[in-house]
Structure 1
Amino acid sequence: MNTTYKLLALDMDGTLLTNEHQISPETSSWIKRAQEHGIHVCLSTGRSFGNALPFGEQLGLATPMVTVNGSEIWRAPHDLYQRYLMDVDLIKKMYGIAAHYDTWFWAYAVDHLYNKENWTTEIDGQEWLKFGFHTEDDDVRHQILMELQDLGGLEITNSSPHNLEINPQGINKATGIAQVCSLLGLEVSQVIAVGDSMNDLAVIQKAGLGVAMGNAQQVVKDEADVVVASNDEDGIAEVIRKYIFAKE
């Protein structure tokens, strides 16, 4: 067994989960084997806590969790360690951009997920974590990106080639995993970080071993230390077999 790595940080959609949004039996089996050998397994996701927790429970995870791209760090399930909120004025401006382009959008508040179909008039009365845009029109998405960059104060990534995900500036999965390491008494060099999209890029670049899934966006593959099989081909199981249970 390789004793270099102590923490496995896993993105969910496109990484841990198949395209059917399931954890395959093979992947689940290898994750449980890693846990039995003392490896911490941390979900590191753009999803909200409520949307991530059932999968953590399915895997029997009691270790810290990074949700909403690093805007929330959980010491353990239901035990919030840190939360970073977005400026309400920026939320209003991003809503204005979405309305101008008439594009699909969503936003995570602490207690609710809003989108184009159920938007709230009580923007000031909410604690906001993340805003997102989705459009398959490359030109429109580029125009939105330009306007977001002009706003400033934003961390702009994506979880698919067709969307943009926005967190407070300086908040991402890398900052989240760094805090998880602090909680566990580990170094970032002891982390294997696995993902497929731009919101995984920062942590893949910082981790001791940065892993891109076979289905990852090309820029993520280019920056990763290694590329494994896709999310539908048990890429996570490959990571665990090759880089945790292989001999040093």
Structure 2
Amino acid sequence: MDKIKLVMVDLDETILFSNTEISKATSQTIQRLLDNNIEVVIATGRYFQSIPRIFIDNKRIKYIVSSNGALITNNQTNAIIYNKDLDYKTVLSIIEKADNKDRHMFISTTKGVFIDENLLNDKLVDSNEFFKLLKSHAVVVKDMYSYIKENKQAVKKIEIAFNDLKFRDDLYTYLQTLKDVTIVSSHHTNIEATNQNVSKGLALEFLIDQLNLNKDETLAIGDNDNDLSMIQMAGIGIAMKNSSPLLLENADLITASIDDDGFTKAIERIFNF
């Protein structure tokens, strides 16, 4: 399809295996898109410093969207072109509502990434490459509420995981009623909060405007609830077979799972190369 000029793609469980690797087919597909002058935009819930070097080092990839859209970086010049923080008072309110029932939490800020002691001691994530990286360079905070309050720390994203899923679901529903925050999830156990003017969909809308494109000239592909806004914003929204029920219900197309190179199969279905 010649009219598509931009492809926005999620990372984890869409093209990224085990938090660190992509398949040979995915790598070749990304290069093929770039060879055909199609913008490939990485859009992830990860904070910028945790994005694998395979994407950062590929300077043909011009735009990287991180923290669910709170930060958009020009990967060729390293310039920040969009940046929205969550007010520290809102973050304090969210932590209060979590009521010390979280399994762990972490925040990403302009000053770095901060984790609580629960995450440091959470053995359930020890085998996860993302959390290994997170623990290796994050600052451990004994009391996240007090730290944010004392430092009036603005936050790009706060992520909280829970063992009590009913409590998590009730809190998720409540937080979605707040006007000054965007609430999404990238896993059924977590809650991710950002500024109300932040989402992957809004990031795509921003880039559409920056590049003077039409919505119909864009394609987005993802696998989880935090990808919903971008597949709804794009001219073509595609869900991986391994996607959450919400994404599967709202996608224009469903492709194969990540284990079956769903990204490549979707691109081959849409494009004539």
**Fold-level similarity (TM above 0.5):** yes
The CA deviation string for residues 124-179 of structure 1, in whole angstroms up to 9 with x for no partner, is 34331111111243212123224424554211111112211111113100110111
Mapped contact 1:135–1:163 kept (Cα < 8 A): yes
Question: In 1, distance between residues paired with 2:18 and 2:10?
Answer: 13
In structure 1, the residue matched to 2:82 is: 82
1:46 paired with 2:73, answer no
In structure 2, the residue matched to 1:61 is: 60
In structure 1, the residue matched to 2:125 is: none
CA positional deviation for 1:92? 1.3
Question: In 1, distance between residues paired with 2:208 and 2:176?
Answer: 30
Q: CA RMSD in A?
A: 1.9
- Output the TM-score relative to the length of structure 1: 0.91
Mapped contact 1:73–1:180 kept (Cα < 8 A): no
Question: In 2, distance between residues paired with 1:201 and 1:176?
Answer: 12
In structure 2, the residue matched to 1:130 is: 157
Question: In 1, distance between residues paired with 2:39 and 2:247?
Answer: 24
Mapped contact 1:105–1:131 kept (Cα < 8 A): yes
| Amino acid across the alignment from 2:23 | S
| Amino acid across the alignment from 2:35 | E
Mapped contact 1:110–1:126 kept (Cα < 8 A): no
Contiguous gaps of at least 5 residues in structure 2: 118-139
In the TM superposition, structure 1's runs of 4+ consecutive aligned residues that sit over 6 Å from their partners are: none
Aligned with residue 204 of structure 1, among 231, 242, 252: 231
| Amino acid across the alignment from 1:198 | D
| Amino acid across the alignment from 1:154 | V
Question: Following superposition of structure 1 onto structure 2, how do residues 12-27 of structure 1 map, counting pairs within 5 Å?
Answer: 12-19=11-18, 21-27=20-26
The CA deviation string for residues 69-112 of structure 1, in whole angstroms up to 9 with x for no partner, is 11111233421001001011011122223353143111111231
In structure 2, the residue matched to 1:97 is: 97
In structure 1, the residue matched to 2:130 is: none
Question: In 1, distance between residues paired with 2:17 and 2:161?
Answer: 21
Higher relative contact order (CA 8 A, sep 6+): 1
- Output the TM-score relative to the length of structure 2: 0.83
CA positional deviation for 1:189? 1.6
Distance 1:142 1:70, change over 3 A: same
Mapped contact 1:98–1:105 kept (Cα < 8 A): no
| Amino acid across the alignment from 1:45 | T
- SS of residue in 2 equivalent to 1:239: helix
